[in-house]
Amino acid sequence: MIVSKMTPQERILQLRSELHEHNHRYYVLNSPSISDYDFDMLLKELQELEAQNPDMYDPTSPTMRVGSDITREFAQVAHKYPMLSLGNTYSKAEVADFFDRVKRALNEDFEICCELKFDGTSISLTYTDGKLVRAVTRGDGEKGDDVTANVRTIRSVPLVLKGSGYPAEFEIRGEVLMPWSVFDRLNEERERNGEPLFANPRNAASGTLKLQDSAVVAKRGLDAYLYFMLGEELPADGHYENLMAAGQWGFKVSDTTCKCSTLDEVFAFIDRMDVERKNLPFATDGIVLKVNSLRQQKNLGYTAKSPRWAIAYKFQAEKALTRLNEVTYQVGRTGVVTPVANLDPVQLSGTVVKRASLHNADIIEKLDLHVGDMVYVEKGGEIIPKITGVDVDSRFMLGEKVTFITKCPECGTPLVRMAGEAAHYCPNYTACPPQIKGRIEHFISREAMNIDSMGPETVELLFNYNLIKDISDLYSLQAEDLMFLPRMGAKSAENIVASIKESLNVPFERVLFALGIRFVGATVAKRLVRAFLNMDALMSATLEQLIAVDEIGGRIAASVIEFFAKEANRELVSRLMDAGLQFAIEEHQVQDRTDILNGQSIVISGVFAHHSRDEYKAMIEKNGGKNVGSVSKSTSFILAGENMGPSKLEKAEKLGVRLVNEDEFLAMLGK
């Protein structure tokens, strides 16, 4: 009778509330309170009422979980907080090293939060006033794809939060997973339909999340576990405590997560999970260890690639025995020749392995490989298969001994091996096809120029049709050049040309990385750009000037000089400059730079009140100083916080290096 007296608007609100609760009980708590039929009937009623009352549209309604067959391009969204990767460890000794580093750096009591490392695809969810407003993939760590419509179909992700006490706006990160049961069912369906099978649940989850049709995503049965909260007004200083609060608000948080105060407790958690992981309904490949206090996390700060307050421990890889049939060779973009073992197919860590890396000539010689050998294969970090040994007892007919080739398998050029290096190289930099194509693929990649309408297949097509011979040729392409190529229509051609044009806005540091200079990764490129400001200065830099840049060693410096010493590379840069690429740091980044700390080498140690270590490092660089990690005679001073490391303090006193507190340091900079 009560229902009949309700207005349609009131009934819609009631049904939404009830269905959100039933979703939570079924998909998060695993404790349903009504039958599937009853749930479907309530959902059907809500769908009909919403259709009759379009003014009641709400993107967080439970009806949004069924998805839509409207296709759309994914917009790219910048992360408010960069999504960095974690450093990996593979032994308890390395875990102990991490624990000791944290202990020395903090010089105070701390706790470690231990969590499972889920083997899925990373996601960042933003909530405003208790409602899901955006879901973004990890992407390159700086920005990712907006997949909100697809994530709304994942029933373990709350569209509207339960309870109270959550911040007005916050971000929560986690992993989108495909459970083993769903993965097996999906592959059975694909096999029946004659479609290629997914290699593992991680690939299946990632591929599903990027589908354009959210209605298909809804049918795939993805799951999501959340494990990290960020924001300005979080409920607690403890990471673990924030996760427990998130569980109360409706998020799916692993019940295996726990806090540890000692290294022995951490090891006990690792041992327990190494056994229990084999019974979990989803794939996991390790443990994540995080310093629990957010205050302590901030003081520990970050390296260029990962936080100092967290680390991933990878479980020991599975091993399988299979037959070696042949060794082939691949040529990379820098000319490195990598031997690849071709194997009888074998199941390993949830995937079928047919090929494995042999790395270099020394590894082949050490293994004493022969064609036909039974070899042990495992996954390094459960990702890249590699051969780790030979079952010599199973040899009954000794096949041909595997010896490393002497000429490039692609262009026939004699290979070279640099002194002190393990790899062989093809020196035919300008004419070896896989090197040229590899450099173009690197150039267009998301982390570099982000020409996202192209991929390896398009590069192959354009190269084979002589439309591109190097990266500069990309900027001469016209849509009419492309639209008549195989599998290429007018729209695709226009998208490629538009994406190439958009890449003219990519900042200098990524352009430098995109050039593919050996040993110059994304982090090194940033260092060089901040030091030299423009390409002309970098190209004319001496070995001594390059080595003077923080974290640039002799090997990197020599590689940069060698690259720009080649006339072909200088001409390439000139063509790219003419095309309009960014070859100087933006003006606003230069304006704040000073020479206040010019020529000074500064060590940072201790815990700070006003800024994090990373913020102080940035200030030092911006004002002309150099960050160094250890105290020596050449150290200008130590920026010293509370609980400074005793070994650094002792060495400073011994060498007469002065200590500067953070207030004095900020005063130096006029702050």
Specify the pairing of strand 626-628 against strand 601-605. Answer: parallel
Pick from 79, 201, 212, 145: nearest CA to 446:
145
CA 463 – CA 186 distance, rounded (Å): 37
Contact 32, 26 (CB under 8 A): yes
Helix extents (H) in 249-333: 263-276, 294-300
Contact 55, 96 (CB under 8 A): no
Q: Assign 3-class secondary structure to 469-521.
A: CCHHHHHHCCHHHHCCCCCCCHHHHHHHHHHHHHHHHCCHHHHHHHCCCCCCC
Q: How crowded is the C-beta side of 374, counted as CA atoms within 13 Å?
A: 10
Specify the pairing of strand 351-357 against strand 88-89. Answer: unpaired
Contact 120, 202 (CB under 8 A): yes
Token pair in block for residue 282: 């989803």
Nearby residues of 179 by Cβ (< 8 Å), 6 or more positions away: 201, 221, 223, 281, 282
Token pair in block for residue 540: 């004319």
CA 462 – CA 446 distance, rounded (Å): 19
Contact 207, 222 (CB under 8 A): no
Pick from 372, 445, 370: nearest CA to 403:
370
Choice among 117, 290, 379, 437 that is catalytic: 117
Residue 92, Cβ density class (10 Å: 0-12 exposed, 13-18 middle, ≥19 buried): middle
Contact 22, 33 (CB under 8 A): yes
If you search the block for the tokens 């390993």, which residue do you land on? 348
Helix axes 456-464, 433-444, angle to 10 degrees: 130
Token pair in block for residue 412: 């026939």
CB atoms within 10 A of CB 384: 11
Give me the sign of the Cα torsion angle 620, 626, 632, 636: negative
Pick from 216, 194, 200, 213: nearest CA to 72:
213
Query: Does residue 117 carry a catalytic annotation?
Result: yes
CA 533 – CA 147 distance, rounded (Å): 36
End-to-end CA distance of the chain: give it in Å, rounded: 69
The amino acid occupying position 263 is L
CB atoms within 10 A of CB 567: 8
| SS3 (DSSP) at 205 | helix
If you search the block for the tokens 């339960």, which residue do you land on? 162
If you search the block for the tokens 């007004």, which residue do you land on? 233
Query: C-alpha 255: how far from its chain's center?
Result: 25
Contact 364, 423 (CB under 8 A): no
Give catalytic residue positions.
Answer: 117
